[in-house]
Every structure is written in C-alpha cells, then in structure tokens.
Amino acid sequence: MLSLLWPWILCLVPLPIAYRFMRHPKQTTMLALRAPGLAAIADQRNTGRYANLKKLMLMALLYICWISALSALARPVWVGEPISLPTSGRDILLAVDISGSMEREDMQLNGKLVNRLIAVKAVVGDFVIERDGDRLGLILFGEKAYLQTPLTFDRKTMQTLLYEAEIGFAGQGTAIGDAVGIGIKRLQSRPENHRVMILLTDGANNSGELDPLEAADLAARSNVKIYTIGIGGERLEEWGLFGQTITNPSADLDEDTLTGIARATGGQYFRARNPAELSTIYERLNELEPIEQSAETIRPATSLFHWPLGLSFLSALFLFALNGKNNGFH
C-alpha cells in the first residue's frame, strides 16, 4: 500500500497556477531572470501550431518537475503486508559483570586458559542466539551499571554488543544492587509473569548506591524473577619464587548474597566453576516455561522518494534543453 509520510506538502501543487494568474503582466520580463522555463513560455509571442505546441510542452515539463519534486518531499513509502513477530517467549534481561576481577584467567576454554569474561561471552553468546521468540536485553555493570541493549527480538545485534563488551568499561568495582535496580525499571512495563533477569558476577557488591538485598526486595514486589550465577574457579595453581602455591580465585565471591537475591525473587542460584558448568546452567535456564504474549505485527516500509525525485531531475533537464534550443543555444 502506497502511503505519504508528509501528505500536506501536496497542498503546494496549485501554487504555480495561482501565481501565474495573480502576477502582474509587467513582471513577465523580470521572471525570466529567475525561472528560465517560465521566461521561455512568456517569450512565445509567435502564433501558430508549433509555437503553441512548444509552449504546452514547456508548461507540462514545468508542472511535472514541480509535482515530482513535491511528491519526493512528501516522502512516499510502500507499506508491505503485516508480518507477525515471535510471541511465545519471555522478557529476559541479562546482567553481566565486566569489573576488573573478570580479567582473572582461571577458565579453561578449548584447552586454553582464558579470563572469565571471554568464557562468559562464549557461553552466553550461544544462549542469546538460541532464545528464538524471547525479548532479550543486556545490562553491563562494574562500578556503575548501565543498559547496553533494551529488550529486543534482534538476537544477533544483542550478541554482537555482548561480544564488544570489555573489562573496565564500567569501572573496576561491582555494583550488583544498581544492576538489579536497572533491571527492575526496564521490566516494570512488561506483563508481570514475563519478567525474568539473569545476573552473572564473580564478586561481591562493593560499589553503587543500592544494596543488593534491598534491590531483591524491590524486585520481588515488582514480580521480577532473578536467577543469579556466581562464576570463577575454586582452585588455581601458580608458580612463584617459593615454589607452587594453590589459591582460591573465587574467595571474593559473595554466594550468600547471590543466593538471597534468587530466593527473595523466586529464582535460583547457580555456581559455575568452568565454562562447561556455565553452559549446563544456561541449558537449565532454557527450560523456563514459555509464556504466551499478545501477538505483535510489523508492516515493513520501503522508501520510494528517489523515483519522483529522479523524474523531477529528468524533467528539469528536458526543460533546460528545450529552453536552450529555443534561445539559440546548441
């Protein structure tokens, strides 16, 4: 279906006709300086069929040029048939920790030791692509929390933005409470039984303005279900000047708080010590019951302004060609 975004512009179509009938006869010569086409019409003083035919041709080209230009300005679009969007999913916000501690290399991925964020990107990126029919959003948090991607059906863009996240973009601290707060704000406009948040971190809340358990209470009152994931290895062997030392790289992980957030909101806490466990966790999350949503449709629109614009340009070329020939130019 053809539609105009700015149809009111077509009200200017009769403007040249009105001007032609309202202008003073003495202005005919002056007009030649500004509109060669109209000047050519004004100079057609000879009688006869040829003169009248050329006058009509010039007049027609002028109006075709004018109407085509106005049609292009009116922004014509072709609106296609309605396309149904996927509607059998959930609204899921993924909150991913990108604080400085995520740089710790204690994850084995494809036989190579990598940092925690790389492992998260590999697993969560696949999870995003698999969520066909869900609206997904991305929150990144460190010392501050911010919404990287609002809820969208565009899983590919969501995955790309996740892959582009870098450690330290949001500061070195960990603001778990603020991340939950942003999630609540973004999910409140969605149906109550659709609101799901998956929060992944490797540390404890040490930044931000909102306490994580207070944020969990707000989430529970807003019917936001939060699944929490604690990531990080439990045993790391390192060699130094005094020989081998064994450390717990996840000593800072606040599992009690993460468990409390999940319990308060009706979710569940998971522990991921390696990419394989993390992948298993997201497989379990994939088993969430889908909730039917109201059907949504979009109508794709294709811009067509270049067609009338091209016609206007061609008409102007013919107009000046005829006018030049009429004035003796070759």
- Residue 234 pLDDT level (bands cut at 50, 70, 90): confident
Helix and strand tally (H, E) in the chain? 11, 15
* 162 domain-assigned: yes
Q: Please tell me which residue, 192 or 50, carries the higher pLDDT value.
A: 192
Tell me the pLDDT tens digit for each residue of 74-119: 888 988 877 766 555 688 999 999 999 898 888 888 888 899 999 9
Of all residues in the chain, the percent with pLDDT exceeding 90 is 35
Query: Does the reported pTM lie above 0.75?
Result: no
* 29 domain-assigned: yes
Local structure of 118: helix, strand or coil:
helix
**Range of the structural domain that residue 129 is part of:** 85-285
Residue among 232, 228, 233 at smallest CA distance from 281: 228
Q: Are 201 and 304 part of one and the same domain?
A: no
Of all residues in the chain, the percent with pLDDT exceeding 70 is 80
Q: Are 73 and 185 part of one and the same domain?
A: no
Q: Are 52 and 124 part of one and the same domain?
A: no
d(CA 330, CA 315): 19
d(CA 222, CA 39): 72
Is pLDDT above 50 for 28? no
**Beta-bridge mates of residue 105:** none
At 30 the pLDDT is: 45
Q: Are 100 and 124 part of one and the same domain?
A: yes
Tell me the pLDDT tens digit for each residue of 155-178: 999 999 999 999 988 988 999 999
* 291 domain-assigned: no
What are the C-alpha distances in Å from 189 to residues 26, 132, 179, 192? 66, 21, 17, 8
What are the C-alpha distances in Å from 134 to residues 158, 246, 265, 315? 12, 42, 20, 50
Q: Are 213 and 305 part of one and the same domain?
A: no
Q: Which of 101-105, 180-184, 194-198, 317-321 has the weakest average pLDDT?
A: 317-321
- Structural domain count, the chain: 2
- 41-50, 63-72, 213-222, 232-241: which is most confident: 213-222
Q: Are 243 and 274 part of one and the same domain?
A: yes
Is pLDDT above 70 for 41? no
- Residue 31 pLDDT level (bands cut at 50, 70, 90): very low
* 310 domain-assigned: yes
Q: Are 50 and 94 part of one and the same domain?
A: no
